[in-house]
Structure formats: C-alpha cells, structure tokens
Amino acid sequence: MATTDPNSKYSSPLVSRYASVEMSENFSNNTRFSTWRKLWLNLAIAEKQLGLTEITDEALAQLESNLCNIDYKVAAEEEKKRRHDVMAHVHAYGIVAPKAAGIIHLGATSCYVTDNADLIIYRNALDMVIKKLVFVIDELAKFCKVYRDLPTLGFTHFQPAQLTTVGKRASLWLQELLMDLRNIERARDDLKFRGVKGTTGTQASFMQLFHGDHDKVEQLDELVSKLSGFNESYPVTGQTYTRKIDIDILCPLASFGATAHKIATDIRLLAHLKEIEEPFESDQIGSSAMAYKRNPMRSERVCSLSRHLMTLVSNTMQTASTQWLERTLDDSANRRITMPEAFLTADIVLTTMQNIFQGLVVYPQVISRHINQELPFMATENIIMAMVEAGKSRQDVHEEIRVLSHQAAHVVKHEGKENDLIERIKNNAFFEPVLGSLDVLLNPSTFIGRAPEQVDSFLTKHVDVALAKYSEILKSKSDAEISV
C-alpha cells in the first residue's frame, strides 16, 4: 500500500542523521537542476552576445526569471516517457519559459549541463570542507598551545616510552590536518570547467552554429566559463570531462579520512587510559546496561564514517579506468552515489571533530600518576650519569641499578604494587652521592626535551601562516553541535 509516511522509506543516514543542512542542500535536486538552468541561461547569453539573433532579450528574461521555478512533476513524467533526465528538464524549462523553448540547450550535449553542474557543485562542496577544516585546525591549535608543556607518557607500540607533552602529541595530529588542508586547497584550485565542447568534445555543433568561425567557438567556451564562475576550462574533453578529475577530488578527502581515523583512534586509546576524554554531556548515556560507562561515541563515529570515506576513492579509480574512448554511461549511477557521499561524510566528520576538540578534557592527575609509574625506570640513565659525575664507575652503577630495577619490576608485575625503584635507591647507601638531587633528576619537565618549543615554533611558522588567509572565515566560527 502506498504511504506518505517519510519513515516508511529508506533515507540515507548521511542526510537524515549526520550531514549539515548546508552540505545536504548543495547536493539537493533544487541546487542541481537550478544550476542546469543557470548553465542553459549562460549558454544562451553567450550565444546571443556572439551573434545568434534567434535568441531574444525576452527569451533570456524568461530563462532568468524561472531559474528556480522547477515543476518536478512535469519533469518526472517527461523522464518516464523519454528515459532521459536532461531532455525532461529541457522540456519542463521550456514550458515556463516559452519564448526560449526553441533555443534551450542549443548546440549542447547532455554533459554540458550534467558535468559542468557537477564541477560547480563539487567546487562549492570543497569550499565548505575547507571552511570546516580550518575551524577544526583552529580549535586543535588552541589545544596545542594550552598543553604545550604538560608532560605525558609517550607510547611506541602502545608501550610506555620517553615522555612527550600533551600539546606536542596533539601537534602531530595538527600537522596531518595541515597536510589535508594543503591537499584539499590544491584540488579546489585545480578545478576547471568542462565548458562547451559538444557531443564528443570536438565542438562540431558549435562550429555549425557559428558557420565555421573557430574564433567565435573559442570565445563561446571562454565566455560561458566566465559566466559560470571559472577562469578557464579543460583544454580537451571527450563527451565528459575526464573522470580522473573525480579521483583528484576524492583522493585528498580520503586522505583526510585517514587522518581523522588516526586522531579519533588516539583519543579512544587515551580515553581508555582516562588521560583525555571527549565531551560527555550531563544527561548522556554511555551504555543501556552499564550505567557507569563513558563511551567515546564521537570518536567512534569519526572512525566509522572515516572508514567509509576512505573506501569511496576506489570507486572513482575504477570508474575512470573503465571509461571507453570518448565515454560510456556506466559512470553515471556510480557517481551519483559516490561523489555526494564523499562530501557528506567528510562534512559530518569535520563537524564531529570540531565538537570533540572544543570540549576535549584533559586529566593531569591521571597523566601524572602514569608518569610516576614509569619514570623511575626512565630516570635510571640520568642517575647513572650523575653517579659517574660524582666519581663512581659507570659499570658498577649500572649493575646496582640493574639489580634494583629487576626487583622493582617483580613487585609491579607479580605483586601488583606500585613501582618502588626510587625508594630502593634511596635506601641503598651506594647511591648516597646523588640522593640530594633525586627530585631534580626525577622532575618530568626535564624529560620532555624541546617539546614545548617545538609546539611554539610549529604554531607560529606553520599553523598561523596557513590560517592567515582565513581570518575572515574564522570570525564566523561558532561552536559545532552534533544532534545525535
């Protein structure tokens, strides 16, 4: 039985649950088909300007006044009859702009509107992604600055290693996000227009329209490109722009997905250690059964969606590799799904990451406790050097510390007690020459090297420079909220 209940039909969670209204609208039918109409208007304007007298001012006025006046019912009925979406919308446009009905799509192939509209929509989407990525970078940079010198236990292989700082670790995340910004900016700036190239890219139809005048056909391509907001078009195309362009767009988005997944995974690991925690609202429920749970659901969502984002680029590669000669149509259905989903996914990942960073909680006392559990072992080299400076043999000192270290390790591993290596050293007369300086030798701030200075330099020389051109955009930044 037919029903009008929206809950009775599948709806992509990317739209219904996750992505922003702004990004969803960018890939909506209203945006797509009004863009088609703008492209038909631009083509007519340019053709009239270059001498096609059959295009009247009245026709142009009707086209312009009906850019968004789309009768989807008429278009759907026509597409069902003709099995051709572009011609269905040519027909629907002609009904509301009757003075222009005969010149809509003049000389063009379907890809004039479909491909050029896609490029416009993708460029707008890249602008949205860049804006949100800038917000994320700005939030994380603030976090790095605040915690630039807070010592924390470093991990290699997820095993305790030398100390770093909370801010320095976060700067590793930040550096990857800067790389993503560079890559996405490059993809955005590299985008050109398909322009007016005709059915197989030869511009033959336009040569006929302008009676063999090569200059006018070139001018037409340039003029339509400029009217549509592009400084240049791709110099050669088949029926479509090369689908390698889609790879160039999705590769940096997928690469960002890898960055986001790594960052969110790190936060999940640190949440397990109770050193760092993503925002957790007062009424939030971590588990339906275990009331005490504080699950890192935001970071888990970032990982989940990032995996999806990373897989989509393989579709663009397979599609580009199977485009026979001037084109085949087996790209169409795939691209309708892959390209919007990539942007919708990147959009919600970025919103979620900004939400995490603007409320990330650090627990210094937990971090300090973890340091103190491992620092005695790490401090042994400092103690050895201090003892040698006091006149002891390095080999003798090494052997004494080796014995005491194994005893302390046994207590930790077999008895479940705290690391008591320092107490053993204090109670051993052999180490009397350095007992007065143990507090200095065990100060965590002496184990972090240049981590704070590295953070300062990185923020000043790289992050601030990258964000400088986005100063106006940053003024519009507000807190990122996630609804579910």
CATH number for the domain that contains residue 389: 1.10.40
Among the candidates 65, 100, 135, a domain finishes at: 100
What is the predicted pLDDT for the residue at 17?
A: 83
CATH number of domain containing 28: 1.10.275.10
pLDDT at 2: 55
Residue by residue, what is the 3-state secondary structure of 86-126? HHHHHHHHHHHCHHHCCCCCCCCCHHHHHHHHHHHHHHHHH
* CA-only gyration radius of the chain, Å: 31
How much is the pLDDT for 280?
67
Domain span at residue 208 reads 110-281+291-366
Whether residue 361 is found in the same domain as residue 215: yes
CATH number at 172 reads 1.20.200.10
The answer to whether position 475 is within a domain reads no
90, HSE (Cβ side, Cα atoms, 13 Å): 18
Determine, yes or no, domain membership for 155. yes
| One domain, residues 87 and 134 | no
Same domain assignment for residues 180 and 271: yes
Does 314 lie in the same domain as 220? yes
Q: How many residues are present in the chain?
A: 484
Q: Distance between CA 378 and CA 170 in Å, rounded?
A: 23
Please give the pLDDT value at position 284. Answer: 47
Beta strands in 348-425 (DSSP E): 361-362
For residue 6, being part of any structural domain is answered with no
Domain assignment of residue 3, yes or no = no
Tell me, yes or no, whether 348 and 234 share the same domain: yes
Residue 237 has phi, psi (to 5 degrees) of: -140, 165
Supply the pTM of this predicted model. 0.90
Clarify whether residues 239 and 143 are in a common domain: yes
Question: Is residue 476 situated within a structural domain?
Answer: no
Question: Quick one: 35 exposed, middle or buried, by C-beta within 10 A (0-12, 13-18, 19+)?
Answer: buried
Number of domains composing the chain: 3
Give me the active site residues, please. 157, 287
From first to last of its 484 residues, what are the pLDDT tens digits of the chain?
Answer: 455 676 778 778 888 888 899 999 999 999 999 999 999 999 999 999 999 989 999 999 999 999 999 999 999 998 888 888 899 999 999 999 999 999 999 999 999 999 999 999 999 999 999 999 999 999 999 999 999 999 999 999 998 888 999 999 999 999 999 999 999 999 999 999 999 999 999 999 999 999 999 999 999 999 999 999 999 999 999 989 999 999 999 999 999 999 999 999 999 999 999 999 998 654 444 444 444 447 889 999 999 999 999 999 999 999 999 999 988 988 888 999 999 999 999 999 999 999 999 999 999 999 999 998 888 888 888 888 899 999 999 999 999 989 998 898 888 889 888 888 888 988 998 999 888 888 888 889 988 999 999 999 999 999 999 999 999 999 998 888 876 6
Residues 83 and 211 in one domain: no
| Same-domain check for residues 353 and 384 | no
What are 351's two structure tokens?
């919103």
Asked if residues 233 and 195 have their Cβ atoms less than 8 Å apart, the reply is: yes
Strand segments, DSSP code E, in 324-408 are 361-362
Q: What DSSP character marks residue 233?
A: B
157 CB neighbour count, 10 Å cutoff: 6
What does the pLDDT read at residue 96? Answer: 95
Residue 155 main-chain phi, psi, to 5 deg: -135, 130
How far is it, in rounded angstroms, from Cα 238 to Cα 300?
43
Query: Tokens 């207590």 — which residue?
Result: 411
Considering the domain architecture, whether residues 94 and 206 belong to the same structural domain is answered as: no
How big is the CA angle at 407 (ends 401 and 413), to the nearest 5 degrees?
130
Sign of CA dihedral 56, 58, 63, 64: positive
- Indicate if 236 and 335 belong to the same structural domain: yes
Q: Is 257 within a domain? A: yes
Q: In Å, how far from its chain's centre is CA 438?
A: 47
Residue 81 tokens read as: 């009859």
Residues 82, 116 share a domain: no
Helices of type H across 107-243: 110-146, 166-190, 204-209, 214-227
Q: How far apart are CA 421 and CA 94, in angstroms?
A: 86
- Residue 347 falls inside a structural domain: yes
Dihedral sign, Cα of residue 31, residue 36, residue 37, residue 39: positive
Domain end marker among 336, 366, 396:
366
From 426, 441, 456, the end of a domain falls on 441
Q: The tokens 């863009």 sit on which residue? A: 35
Rounded Cα distance between 243 and 221, Å, is 20
Distances (CA, A) of 61 to 46, 55, 71, 265, 368: 14, 11, 19, 55, 71
Whether residue 43 contacts residue 112, with contact meaning beta carbons closer than 8 Å, is answered with yes
How far apart are alpha carbons 224 and 112 in whole angstroms? 11
Same domain flag for 362 and 384 = no
- 326 within a domain of the structure (yes/no): yes
